[in-house]
């Protein structure tokens, strides 16, 4: 099935973020990468800020499709999904610097916290998600690609004491 123009814009925006960083995320660059007419971002999102706000939900939708097991998720985040993982952290930084982006980030993030709550309980879920993010970010910085090392650390974090 062919992707809509809107989806192509969002996919290519995430790819640009993950490969080149936030400075590469211009309206023109996204439209060129997606192979769509100039003015498409304006039509679908209003402006660059509208595009960035839409990226949070789009990223959550794409990441929500990752396998349920922790090892498979880590393998994806550090392997074939690495660019998307880097885009996630670029979005975190954008939201940290721009208060108007915090609410969309938190809303998208709460979807993952709700999934974690099913496994570790509602009280622990926010800390577990933050800790897992820290593990993944640390692995990216160190160039680590072995999901089993992350899984072992995550298991220690998410297993209640006996």
- Do the beta carbons of residue 130 and residue 112 sit within 8 Å? no
152, two tokens: 């072992």
Give the pLDDT confidence score for residue 26 in this predicted structure: 97
Host H or E run for residue 119: helix 102-120
Torsion angle in degrees (nearest 10) through CA of 79, 85, 89, 91: 150
- Please count the CA atoms within 13 angstroms of the CA of 27 that sit on its side-chain side: 15
The helix, strand and coil proportions of the chain, stated in percent and rounded to the nearest 5, come to 80, 0, 20
Residue appearing with tokens 């938190």: 106
Q: What is the pLDDT of residue 162?
A: 63
pLDDT digits (tens, 9 = 90+) for 86-138: 999 999 999 999 999 999 999 988 988 888 888 888 998 898 888 888 988 99
Tens-place pLDDT, residues 2-36: 789 999 999 999 999 999 999 999 999 999 999 99
3-state secondary structure of 162: coil
């Amino acid at each position: 099935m062919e992707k809509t123009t809107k989806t192509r814009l969002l996919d290519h925006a995430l790819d640009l973020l993950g490969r080149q960083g936030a400075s590469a995320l211009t309206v023109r660059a996204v439209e060129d990468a997606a192979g769509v007419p100039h003015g498409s971002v304006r039509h679908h999102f209003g402006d660059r800020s509208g595009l960035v706000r839409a990226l949070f939900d789009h990223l959550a939708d794409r990441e929500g499709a990752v396998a349920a097991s922790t090892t498979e998720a880590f393998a994806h985040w550090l392997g074939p999904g690495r660019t998307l993982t880097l885009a996630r952290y670029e979005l975190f930084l954008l939201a940290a610097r721009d208060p108007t982006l915090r609410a969309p980030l938190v809303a998208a993030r709460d979807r993952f916290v709700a999934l974690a709550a099913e496994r570790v309980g509602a009280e622990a879920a926010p800390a577990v998600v933050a800790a897992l993010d820290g593990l993944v970010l640390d692995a990216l910085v160190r160039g680590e690609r072995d999901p089993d090392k992350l899984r072992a650390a995550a298991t220690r974090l998410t297993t209640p004491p006996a």
